[in-house]
Amino acid sequence: MKNIIKISILIIALSISSVVSSQSIRAYTLQMPAKVFTGGGKLYVKALKSENGKFTDFGVQVSESIKNQLIAAENKDREVKASGSLYNPWFTTKFYEIVNSENQADIVLGGSYKLSAQQDKSTKLHTDTTWVLDNGTENRKPVEYFYFEYQNNGKISVKGQIIAKRNGQVIDKHDFSDKLEGTKRSFLRKPKGSSIDSLVAKLTNRTANSKKNLYSPEFVLEKYNFKNVKTKNKAYKSELKGQMKMVKANLKSGNLNAAAKILFKLNENESSENLYYNLAMCYELIGNTEKAAGFYEKSGSSSGIKRINRLMKTEKIIESLGLPIIEKDFDF
């Protein structure tokens, strides 16, 4: 009897799970960078300058990482738009035009840093004598060998500032600092290389990776789960079930327009909070924030309202870059 109850519970749980995830679509959304330069335009990234003339490769690599990420975002823009999984026409990662000279630029991104290093070395050389077999015989003779005890303590820290200027006027500043410590010990042989060099390389890579997305938007592929629509009207249940199967099939094939058309037809017959939510999500996906907000309010979904408010904020930021916002509608 207990096993029957367990199986029944499992069947119910599986059926609930299938209802919750019955309709979904994968689509790209836009993840905004930490910093955006209002007005957009042509952007030149120059190497960060070393204030003390040391570790100049650090500034070059950090700047190149930022520049390369901006270029990579632009290439990703073309790739995503060709994928068929981007429904919002005003989503873009092409915020700026990257140029190769300061004279061509509206915005110049540069700055300076000071990288300091400290290294403490200690080396001890020991000699010792031991007895070994001579050609496998019992004849023994003393053999002297060298024993190195080598210790290398390194510390390195950086303080810097990334500055953006438009027409010579500062429009953004970003201070940063970081540090690394390391110890390298070796016995019986003198270690090759310097632990400071290793620490500088690690710190350079870490800083470059942490700053590369500072100004770069990014596309993220997400799964949008539509809610199951139910009815208390027994005569309508069979038709509703068939229509929702068609919605699921269209979403699976990526035909959002066809899925939305069915949902609108259903809304004419019998409205519900879940139906309003699904219509809101359709409008969110195509970037029509005004209509999406209206349907989310009708659905009473606080998470949906929060998400569309975030999208509206993104919309305003993109507008501030001088880029066009096209809130399209469905073509039915």
Given phi > 0 = left and psi -120 to 50 = alpha, else beta, which region is 111?
left
In the block, tokens 């469905």 appear at 330
Contacts of 310 (CB under 8 A, 6+ apart): none
What is the C-alpha separation between 34 and 211, in angstroms, rounded? 10
What is the C-alpha separation between 177 and 22, in angstroms, rounded? 48
Region 196-224 average pLDDT? 94
pLDDT band at 1 (very low <50, low <70, confident <90, very high): low
Region 216-233 average pLDDT? 93
Does residue 11 carry a pLDDT above 50? no
pLDDT band at 17 (very low <50, low <70, confident <90, very high): very low
Highest mean pLDDT among 114-128, 143-157, 180-194, 277-291: 277-291
Each residue's pLDDT tens digit, 178-207:
999 987 776 666 555 567 888 899 999 999
List the domains of the chain with CATH numbers: 30-112 (no CATH), 114-211 (no CATH), 225-320 (1.25.40.10)
Region 150-167 average pLDDT? 91
Closest CA to 79 of 287, 218, 211, 213: 218
**Contact between residue 171 and residue 156 where contact means Cβ atoms under 8 Å apart:** no
Each residue's pLDDT tens digit, 230-266:
888 888 899 999 999 999 999 999 999 999 999 999 9
Average pLDDT, the chain: 87
What is the C-alpha separation between 301 and 5, in angstroms, rounded? 35
Model pLDDT, residue 192:
59
